[in-house]
């Protein structure tokens, strides 16, 4: 374990950052020259290796970031899919033939397009999904032949290093990958370095938009936070909605950017939904992340627990009613549900990133649309309804990257485009969509 940590580059200053950037930039040609079948084979082999080591990864994730081990196993399984799907995309990612005989001036010509790597990439990832969120950056990079530096969350270096070892063993050039730890000054020196053509960051909105402001001419992807809203209509399958919302609000102690945070329930089913939600909440098990029965463990640190606890207290002091939870013991915070939280409190308009949700009754679907569309974030939202016309109206009016029907906003397929609008970021992940972000079009016009 100690040797694994030593394999990580420790960048302590701007000079070391520049040297690292130069080394990765020098590997660009070698990475891009790998044939697509070689890149696909590397990715498939990494997926197979993660599958073989699922339990080791799960235990490591649980130890590093306190994720319940059963959720960590699910994360490892998702990472297997992410690498295997990227392997498939590597084999079919290409350009197109465009006829240009559209008028007399271009008659007799046609165009070919292809996508080429933009250049070396810098990836900065958070603690909450230390394997699969890393996979969503490095797998598409390998798929298009892109060298990269990965700066994982300081809480989870061993998970990133274990993955990096598997990537190298699968045949990816050793000089085309680096895993680094760095203080703020050195990390910002990497962000500023013009030899990186891409910056892909997942984390808080405050940090993400700051990094974008100093990134220069890089192509920047930001996967930031949210305060995901859910609407439960009178025509919904209420038991299903209540069960899904209870799980989606509190799994991994709510430390998920698309965790259910604001629940809006249509008046005719409000009482039924609330009772079922509280019943499902009471069935969630709190405890040691390494225990297979645990649903909710401690938050990542005491500072996070302090913040979430303060937000709950603020909402209650402002007139909200605490229906459940709120108890605190060390870094463990009992899952809380606040009814009718004030619209101006932080639970209503900022990202909680903790085991807490708000709930309120709405008398009209128009009001529900207004509330779901409000605020500065725009990552994902959920609708429990079978009214297709209203779903289309919501899709037109709610400015989010993903609208999930008859499930929670915490739903994500690793194949789909994923990302937000407004303060939730820019760009999209998901293997093919990230591959498009990491490459640029090049056109050839021919006149035979």
What span, in angstroms and rounded, lies between the C-alpha atoms of 239 and 189? 51
Q: How far is CA 250 from the centre of its chain?
A: 17
250 by Cβ neighbours in 10 Å (0-12 / 13-18 / 19+) ranks as: buried
The alpha helices in 215-364, defined as continuous H runs, are 238-250, 270-283, 302-317, 346-349
Question: Exactly one of 71, 257, 345, 360 is catalytic; which is it?
Answer: 257
How many residues does this entry show for the chain? 448
What span, in angstroms and rounded, lies between the C-alpha atoms of 71 and 421? 28
Q: Which 3 state secondary structure label does DSSP give 265?
A: strand
Q: Is 343 a catalytic residue?
A: no
What span, in angstroms and rounded, lies between the C-alpha atoms of 90 and 359? 44
Question: Exactly one of 64, 71, 75, 223 is catalytic; which is it?
Answer: 223
Phi, psi at residue 403, to the nearest 5°?
Answer: -115, 120
For helices 69-92 and 36-52, angle between their N-to-C axes, nearest 10 degrees: 170
Per DSSP, the chain holds a count of helices (H) and strands (E) of 17, 21
Q: Buried b vs exposed e over 91-120: b needs ≥16 C-beta within 10 Å? A: eebeeeeeeeeeeeeeeeeeeeeebebbbb
405 by Cβ neighbours in 10 Å (0-12 / 13-18 / 19+) ranks as: middle
What span, in angstroms and rounded, lies between the C-alpha atoms of 242 and 382? 13
Strands (E), 366-418: 377-378, 380-384, 402-405
What span, in angstroms and rounded, lies between the C-alpha atoms of 301 and 126? 14
Q: Is 174 a catalytic residue?
A: no
What span, in angstroms and rounded, lies between the C-alpha atoms of 34 and 29? 9
Q: State the distance between the two ends of the chain, measured CA to CA, in whole angstroms.
A: 61
Residues forming the active site:
223, 257
């Amino acid at each position: 374990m100690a040797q694994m940590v030593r394999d990580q580059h420790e960048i302590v200053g701007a000079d070391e950052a520049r040297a690292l950037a130069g080394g990765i930039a020098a590997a660009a040609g070698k990475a891009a020259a790998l044939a697509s079948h070689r890149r696909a084979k590397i990715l498939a082999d990494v997926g197979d290796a993660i599958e073989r080591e699922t339990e080791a990864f799960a235990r490591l994730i649980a130890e590093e970031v306190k994720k319940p081990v059963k959720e960590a196993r699910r994360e490892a399984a998702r990472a297997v899919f992410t690498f295997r799907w990227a392997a498939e995309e590597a084999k079919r990612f290409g350009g197109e033939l465009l006829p240009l005989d559209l008028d007399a001036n271009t008659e007799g010509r046609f165009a070919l397009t292809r996508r080429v790597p933009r250049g070396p990439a810098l990836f900065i990832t958070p603690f909450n999904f230390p394997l699969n969120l890393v996979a969503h950056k490095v797998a598409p990079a390998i798929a298009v032949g892109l060298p990269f530096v990965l700066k994982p969350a300081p809480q989870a270096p061993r998970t990133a290093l274990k993955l990096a070892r598997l990537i190298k063993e699968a045949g990816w050039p050793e000089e085309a990958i680096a895993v680094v730890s760095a203080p703020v000054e050195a990390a910002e020196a990497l962000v500023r370095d013009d030899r990186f053509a891409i910056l892909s960051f997942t984390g808080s909105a405050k940090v993400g938009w700051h990094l974008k402001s100093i990134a220069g001419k890089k192509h920047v992807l930001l996967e930031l936070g949210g305060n995901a809203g859910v609407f439960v209509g009178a025509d919904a399958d209420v038991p299903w909605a209540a069960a899904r919302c209870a799980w989606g609000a509190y799994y991994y102690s709510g430390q998920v950017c698309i965790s259910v945070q604001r629940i809006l329930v249509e008046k005719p089913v409000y009482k039924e939904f609330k009772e079922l939600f509280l019943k499902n909440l009471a069935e969630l098990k709190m405890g040691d992340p390494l225990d297979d029965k645990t649903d909710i463990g401690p938050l990542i640190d005491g500072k996070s627990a302090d913040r979430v606890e303060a937000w709950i207290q603020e909402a209650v002091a402002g007139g909200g009613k605490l229906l459940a939870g709120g108890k605190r013991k060390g870094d463990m915070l009992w899952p809380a549900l606040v009814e009718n939280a004030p619209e101006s409190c932080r639970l209503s308009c900022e990202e909680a990133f903790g085991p807490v949700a708000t709930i309120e009754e709405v008398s009209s679907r128009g009001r529900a649309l207004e509330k779901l569309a409000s605020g500065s974030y725009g990552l994902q939202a959920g609708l429990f309804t079978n009214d297709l016309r209203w779903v289309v109206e919501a899709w037109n009016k709610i400015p989010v990257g993903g609208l999930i029907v008859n499930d929670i906003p915490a739903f994500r397929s690793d194949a789909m485009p994923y990302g937000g609008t407004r303060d939730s970021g820019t760009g999209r992940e998901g293997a093919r969509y990230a591959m498009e972000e990491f490459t640029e079009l090049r056109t050839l016009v021919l006149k035979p």
